[in-house]
Amino acid sequence: MFKTANNEQVTQRTLRQSITYVGIGLHNGKNVSMTVHPAEAGSGIHFLRKDVPMGEGLIPARWYNVVDTSLSTAIGNEYGFRVDTVEHLMAALSGCGVDNALIELDGPEVPIMDGSSHPFVSMIERIGTVDQDSPRHAIWIQRPIEVRDGDKYAILMPSDMPRITVEIDFEHEAIGTQILSVEMINEAFHHQVSRARTFGFAHQIEALRKQGLARGGSLRNAILVDGDRIINEEGLRFNDEFVRHKILDAFGDLALAGVPIMAHYYGRKPGHELNSKLMTQMFEDRSSWSYTTVNDFEALVGTQGPHSEEVRTNFEKSADGRS
C-alpha cells in the first residue's frame, strides 16, 4: 500500500495506462464494460457513467456520496445516477497504491468479476503504476472513533501501521466464528486479502432475486453457503475466506475517505452500513485526526521499528490456511 523504505518520498501514483474490464453486475445481472484510466495527481478516484446524459455521470468516489449500503456500497450524484458495488475495485486500487484514476463505465454497476479484488489487482500489477510528482496524503487517527449497532461495532484506533482486524460470527456452521488481523502494508493486501470472494446464503437467494438483487450472482462470482456446506465444487480459497472478504470490504469502504487512513480498524460483525457510518463519524469528529503526508506520518511515528517485522511474521503464519 505504501513504501516503508528509509527516506523514500512516498508519492501519489496512477496507472501506467488504461485498463478495460468486461463483466456482469452482481445485482443487476447486466454486462458492463469498465475502463480505468490514469488521472492527474491530486484528482483522486472518480467514476463516470457513459450511458447517461453528458455532464451528469460524474461521481467522485467519496464517503459523502454513498447512497446505498444494503448489500454492497453504492455511490451516487445530484442527478440521481449511481454506481453500485464499488468496494472491491476501491480495495484493489487502494491495495495497489493507486491514488488517482478515472473509471468510465457503460452501466450502473462495477463488474463483479470472480467476486474478489484479484482480477482487478492482477491487471493493475501487469500494467503497472507510475509515481506522480506530488506527496501522498493520509488521515492520521489520534483518538478512537467508534460506531455501534447492537452487537456490531467498528472502531478506528491510533496505530503506527494501517491495520484491519475483523471478527465475524455466523450461525452457519460452514462459517462460524472467524477473526483475523492484517497489517495493510507492502503486498499484504495482494497475498492475504485480495483473492477472498464475496459470499451468500442459499436460503436468501430467492428473496434477493424477488427484490431484483443478486441477479448476476452465480458460483462463478460468489461462495454459496448452505448450513454447514459450501456449494462451490472448487471449495474455498482460504480456510477463513469469509473473514478475509470482510477485511477486503472494510478496506474498500475506507478507501472512500479519499486518502489512506493510518489507524487500526477493528470491526465486529461489520458491514457496509457500519463502515459508511464510521466514515461519516470520522469526518464529523475532525479533532480526532490530522491530515498529513505519509512521509510525515512515518517520520513522526517511527514506522521502521522492529515491531512491524514481528507482526508481519505473525500474520504470515496466520495465512497457512491458504489453498
Q: Which residues are catalytic?
A: 272
Cβ nearer to Zn ion, comparing 84 with 104: 84
Cβ nearer to Zn ion, comparing 240 with 249: 249
Q: Which residues, 6+ apart, have CB-to-CB distance to 254 below 8 Å?
A: 94, 261, 265, 275, 279
Distances in whole angstroms, Cα of residue 39 to Cα of each of 15, 34, 90, 123, 199 = 8, 15, 15, 17, 32
Q: Which residues of 78-102 are buried (b: 16+ CB within 10 A; e: fewer)?
A: eeebbbbbbbbbbbbbbbbbbbbbb
DSSP code, position 189: I
Rule CB under 5 A: which residues touch Zn ion?
Answer: 198, 249
Shortest distance, position 226 Cβ to Zn ion, whole Å? 19
Cβ nearer to Zn ion, comparing 71 with 101: 71
In one-letter notation, the amino acid at residue 1 is M
Shortest distance, position 48 Cβ to Zn ion, whole Å? 22
Shortest distance, position 181 Cβ to Zn ion, whole Å? 19
Shortest distance, position 198 Cβ to Zn ion, whole Å? 4
As a whole number of angstroms, the distance between CA 80 and CA 317 comes to 47
Q: Which residues, 6+ apart, have CB-to-CB distance to 82 below 8 Å?
A: 59, 67, 68, 74, 75, 76, 108
Helix then strand then coil, in percent of the chain rounded to 5, is: 30, 35, 40
The bridge status of strand 223-226 relative to strand 229-230 is: antiparallel
As a whole number of angstroms, the distance between CA 279 and CA 192 comes to 24
Cβ nearer to Zn ion, comparing 104 with 249: 249
Cβ nearer to Zn ion, comparing 26 with 139: 26
- Kindly report the number of other CB atoms within 10 A of residue 38's CB atom: 20
